[in-house]
Chains A and B, each alone.
Chain A
């Protein structure tokens, strides 16, 4: 823990309409100046303001929020504290957290850090502190589980490997410092510069092309396709509860893929309504079908919808393959089916809805949310973990970029130590004994 201003999401995301982001520390109030419209000269403590929230660098508007400031010592932590009440969408929360990370001397709070600060400032009494341990334990366990499982062993292993590389580099530098009479090859010392540069580049591109981050920003793509007049546009309308597509009974009304952005349980989802899949003679419609096929392949999830009165689910056998099984078969207009037919479809794993009569839509969105959460775990801890990872990696890069061997070697070593410590925050502690183990493994140490 240091004297920096810390921030974190204080509410559970996705379960409520409103999320609270808490900022605590000596510079917390700079949020008003850097990210809101509120004139600083009229600002009052403990008064709630309605304002737009901006990214402090790009000035892009992120959300309309209620913001309140608590002057030290009258706050939970005892420090200057600001609370942003924003919309509970994950995309909004993420964009605000990212915006906060742009402010100098701000960093993401560690697990339980608000409470710890509160304790240090004498704001928390004993009974509260007792419960705290369980809370933090739970949080840490969850984060660890996610790091290992959801992020995939791949990502964790990647970070562990980078740290290992850094330890190797550090062991050379440290050996050169601590065992000056040993003949540690000079050329190796100069190879280090190259290794550091490579590592820094690798981490930079890793941060840049993180597709999940992008999906969280731009939305997950769900494509609805099926024969003409299956009711695809009606479904989108029902989901969005507003007219985004022209709906008519004439087959082939929808020629372009039409998109609508919907928040399902905190996941930003873009539904695409595609042209009906049939052998169209109309040239314009042919183009529409081509677009539809591309969309199916590029979707994160597909809904294959049909009207059970005119079509059978077998028509999708090829499309299911194209979608790599990331799909759901949906029978629309289920209100017109007999109970026996309904049972039969359900048995085949087909979801029954009626877009027009608003039947089964909750079930449908739940299924989509479940699929997304299984595939892309983006719950609160994950979001925080990911954000924290990025912060640690950025810190790591900053230190690696400072490294060069023209400066005094103990300062170069310090750069690597700090870089190593930054990744160590993700994977575990930097232990001096680890460095020494490496030194003794690689060099012969005498005098």
Chain B
């Protein structure tokens, strides 16, 4: 074997959304990092829909940004239509979303990586791991060369034994035009990891020049687009519209008549696909009574004529796709540039991982993204960041770990769900997954996480000082509002009707649902000069106050159990009062804390109490 003379702290395999965040995070944390990707030109590729964010997902992007990750900054530069979803609802459930110019996104992502210190990029295919004594210490390339490192992060996406399906036609590959990776799976199996198959799909791509836009409804971006990154001051890109069309009964008949020809129903695909991003044939089966489904026509960029039809992912053969796509309004004469396909790939049961996304059965190996059974760029990026920081901390022998818990962020919710419950379909983030939804908002991701990131070393001084200034402004204004008493005549002059009970502070008034910024401005001279971000933070605290109090109490309880650490060498079979079943459940997951132990499926409170006794030995 020929050895590359360089030795790295961290090697990241894969240049997708998980890989980009992982290598940048490892490098930021101070590790000498190498990104190995099979094709430099596809770094940051948006393989499916050209959009970042959404509900739950937008929260993740803000959290990535709070930890100085790349995704938010890149989409702020590459976005062509920004919308704040759920704007009519409260701040906790609003989610920023933006469509991207696919080419610009890739370009800005590559640029970010090139400007990252401690980071090198190499074009090569990884076909194996160097494993010694259950410790991973490098990778083997397809040409037989090896590269050594102290830690490896695998972010292989859909490439592990990827098989693509278009109707009955199958081809081996990780994405159209890309080969799949077959070499790594045997190494994972040798480590004793439990693997499975999942599937996902991507719709056809259309030629926008052949769409009859004039007869279609439009969806525009927000008039005042909000940035993803806490550091972006203003979105300057020109915003473009997307079109809306619908499937109809004709479309549905064609699809129904050809069910037998699609890979999913003919039994070719055995992997489980996500329910929330179902293929059109899936939708017809599941919602048999619906006669129409909405389809968004999203341009993939400024310069390209490629349009992404959101909502008609399918594994039907090309000729059937041809037929049903042309039944839709505005698409009567559309040219199909590329047909839809489904893809099936290997994933590792995430119960094999710890909270740092490290593999429990091997030292120095971290996994992030679709390999862990998730779907989505944002989910992948967030895991990449956590895996990258932890790989660096391990490689640099700091003895530290980077761990976000369920009360700190959606990242924590996602990782905790993955490692304690496993997955039976590709995992996507939703706001409803969080039990502390009112505390974990997209607007306060920095307040929740930036301190944590700075402490561990993945947040730059520059960001940290901006953050600190922002926080002190909010705190100052919050103190002011909480102590500033407003007299009843003043309150009534401002048009607010209140019961005359006790003294009312400015913050009390903010808590009323119908009291707006304008009303506060009329009441208080100083508030007029307060910037929008500061005002918003104090206002949200006030409007949610009662509910937030209860969530903070719940969090305090949660934290107490979370702070009770379980020793790694604990032998569950020697704990009195534990049934065999409980011993097996605990031994499988190896929880690190009492809190984690209590969230394992099927575990009883009594069993958790029994472990309590073994903490303080």
Contacts and interface: CB of A to CB of B under 8 A. Distances in A.
A66 interface: no
Contact of A414 (B293, B438, B560, B577): B438
B92 A133 contact: no
A136 B613 contact: no
A184 to B, nearest CB: 12
Given A3-B556, A129-B609, A133-B577, 13 more contacts: A119-B613, A130-B576, A130-B577, A140-B606, A181-B85, A408-B543, A414-B437, A432-B432, A432-B435, A444-B286, A444-B290, A446-B283, A447-B311
Interface string A407-418: 111110110011
Contacts of A130: 575-577, 610, 613
Contacts of B605: 110-112, 136, 140
B89 interface: yes
Contacts of A255: none
Interface string B419-434: 0010000000011110
A409 B432 contact: no
A440 B90 contact: no
Interface in B278-293: 278, 283, 286-287, 290, 293
A392 to B, nearest CB: 16
Contacts of B604: 137, 140
B434 to A, nearest CB: 9
Contacts of B560: 1, 120
B437 A432 contact: no
A1 B553 CA distance: 10
9 contacts: A3-B553, A3-B557, A129-B610, A131-B577, A136-B606, A178-B55, A180-B85, A181-B85, A413-B437
Nearest to A135: B606
A445 B283 CA distance: 9
A1 B294 CA distance: 46
Contact of A180 (B86, B275, B544): B86
Contacts of B328: none
A177 interface: yes
A445 B86 contact: no
B577 A407 contact: no
Contact of B606 (A137, A178, A413, A435): A137
B521 to A, nearest CB: 22
A116 interface: yes
A409 B93 CA distance: 9
B85 A133 contact: no
B607 interface: yes
Contacts of B275: 440, 445
Contacts of A179: 55, 276
The 7 tightest CB contacts between A and B, nearest first, are A129-B613, A133-B577, A408-B90, A133-B610, A136-B606, A137-B606, A174-B432
Interface in B546-597: 547, 550, 553-554, 556-557, 560, 575-578
A57 interface: no
Contacts of A181: 85, 294, 296
B612 interface: yes
A382 to B, nearest CB: 20
B612 A129 contact: yes
Interface of B: 54-56, 85-86, 89-90, 92-93, 275-278, 283, 286-287, 290, 293-294, 296, 310-311, 421, 430-433, 435, 437-438, 513, 543-544, 547, 550, 553-554, 556-557, 560, 575-578, 604-607, 609-610, 612-614, 616-617
A440 B612 contact: no
Interface string A218-258: 00000000000000000000000000000000000000000
B609 A116 contact: yes
Contacts of A407: 513
A435 B432 contact: yes
B293 A133 contact: no
A183 interface: yes
Contacts of A413: 437
A247 B217 CA distance: 95
A444 B283 contact: yes
B56 A178 contact: yes
B89 A177 contact: yes
A416 B612 CA distance: 32
Nearest to A176: B89
A410 B438 contact: yes
A132 B613 contact: yes
A406 B612 CA distance: 45
A1 B432 CA distance: 22
B609 A133 contact: yes
Nearest to B544: A411
A348 interface: no
A436 B427 CA distance: 12
A445 B610 contact: no
Contacts of A435: 432
A126 B616 CA distance: 8
A137 B90 CA distance: 43
Nearest to A443: B287
A189 to B, nearest CB: 12
A282 interface: no
A439 to B, nearest CB: 8
B576 A133 contact: yes
B311 A446 contact: yes
A41 interface: no
Interface string A179-211: 111010000000000000000000000000000
A314 interface: no
A154 to B, nearest CB: 26
A340 interface: no
Contact of A177 (B55, B606, B607): B55
A413 B435 CA distance: 11
Interface string A133-145: 1101100100000
B59 to A, nearest CB: 12
Nearest to A411: B547
B310 A446 contact: yes
A123 to B, nearest CB: 12
Contacts of B310: 446-447
Contacts of B616: 122, 126
B11 to A, nearest CB: 35
A418 B547 CA distance: 10
Nearest to A431: B601
A410 B93 CA distance: 7
Nearest to A138: B606
A130 B610 CA distance: 6
Most buried by B among A2, A122, A444: A444
Most buried by B among A115, A432, A433: A432
Contacts of B556: 2-3
A342 B93 CA distance: 79
Contacts of B557: 1-3
B276 to A, nearest CB: 5
A409 B430 contact: no
Interface in A92-130: 110-112, 115-116, 119-120, 122, 126, 129-130
Contacts of B613: 119, 126, 129-130, 132-133
A132 B277 CA distance: 47
Contacts of A414: 437-438, 547
Contacts of B294: 181, 183, 446
A310 B600 CA distance: 71
A112 B93 CA distance: 37
B276 A440 contact: yes
Contacts of B609: 112, 115-116, 119, 129, 132-133, 136
Contacts of B553: 2-3
Contacts of A178: 55-56, 93, 430-432
Contacts of B283: 444, 446
Contacts of A436: 430, 432-433
Contact of B296 (A1, A417, A447): A447
Nearest to B554: A2
A261 B268 CA distance: 76
A81 to B, nearest CB: 20
A445 to B, nearest CB: 5
